[in-house]
């Protein structure tokens, strides 16, 4: 759990250093890129392929953390 949150913080800060030349707001695109990367690299907090409350908490935590960092550092 701590690994996912630390990677979220690190990726968000790294992505904020890259100039945004797209039509998407950084407040939307950076949390999505970060969440998908964290899920791909480290996985989520439970085992198996069945959706559970843990998965909902995972997505809300990762996207929420990245969004807060993105908004506060812009």
Taking the C-alpha atoms of 14, 18, 21 and 23 in order, what is their torsion angle to the nearest 10 degrees? 10
Domain ranges of the chain: 2-73
Instruction: Note the pTM of the prediction, 2 decimals.
Output: 0.89
How does pLDDT run across 13-72, given as a tens digit for each residue? 999 999 999 999 999 999 999 999 999 999 888 887 888 898 999 999 999 999 999 999
Instruction: Give the distance from CA 72 to its chain's centroid.
Output: 15
């Amino acid at each position: 759990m701590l690994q996912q949150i630390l990677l979220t913080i690190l990726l968000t800060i790294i992505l904020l250093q890259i100039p945004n030349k797209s039509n998407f707001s950084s407040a939307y695109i950076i949390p999505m890129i970060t969440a998908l990367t964290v899920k791909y690299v480290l996985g989520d907090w439970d085992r198996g392929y069945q959706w559970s409350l843990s998965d909902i908490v995972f997505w809300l935590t990762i996207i929420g953390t990245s969004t807060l960092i993105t908004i506060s550092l812009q």
